[in-house]
Amino acid sequence: MSKIVIKGLGVDIASIPKIAKLVDRFDCETLSLVFTDKERDYCQSIDRRDVAYALCFGIKEAVSKALGVGLVGIDWYEIETDLAQKQPEVRLYRKAEIQAQKLGIQRWLVDWWELQDCVLANVIGFSEEQIDE
């Protein structure tokens, strides 16, 4: 038997037109400060590019909040989102991964909604712990 223990919660709203403007203004190398190669490849490959970029941005901010440090101690590209899956997935690297380990976060659950010209992302960081019977 195991139980799910919630270790962190985060929510964020990202403006689709603002993120689209950001993406249009800068080249790939500069954007790599925010988005990983995988994220850019995926977002550029789909019809709803602007929504995908805004969702990546919103999930990153939400995850940083769930990690309890915001983006003060973590770089944007250390939080990677995989939108190619049915449910968005989160992968962490370097400082973000270390912070998740400190909090005991093993997995992430991501939910999101598109509201007018914004994307609302909600993330839960949790662990599965064994229960002694």
Partner 1 sequence: MVAASTFGILVDILKELGVSETQISPNTFIYRDLQLDSTETVEISLALKRRLGIKIKLETRQDKTLAELCQSIESAKSQ
Residues in touch with partner 1 (CB under 8 A):
14-15, 18-19, 22, 25-27, 30-31, 33-34, 57, 61, 70-72, 75-76
- Tokens standing for 97? 């991964």
Rank residues 5 and 115 by Cβ distance to partner 1 and give the closer one: 115
Q: How many CB atoms lie within 10 A of CB 106?
A: 15
What's the number of CA atoms in the CB half-sphere (13 Å) around residue 17? 3
The C-alpha atoms of residue 33 and residue 79 are separated, in whole angstroms, by 11
Residue 44 CB, nearest approach to partner 1 (Å): 17
Q: How many CB atoms lie within 10 A of CB 35?
A: 24
Residue 33, H or E segment:
none
Residue 19 CB, nearest approach to partner 1 (Å): 6
Residue 30 CB, nearest approach to partner 1 (Å): 5
Rank residues 63 and 126 by Cβ distance to partner 1 and give the closer one: 63
Rank residues 79 and 126 by Cβ distance to partner 1 and give the closer one: 79
Smallest Cα–Cα separation from 64: which of 99, 25, 102?
A: 99
Residue 131 CB, nearest approach to partner 1 (Å): 38
Rank residues 8 and 126 by Cβ distance to partner 1 and give the closer one: 8
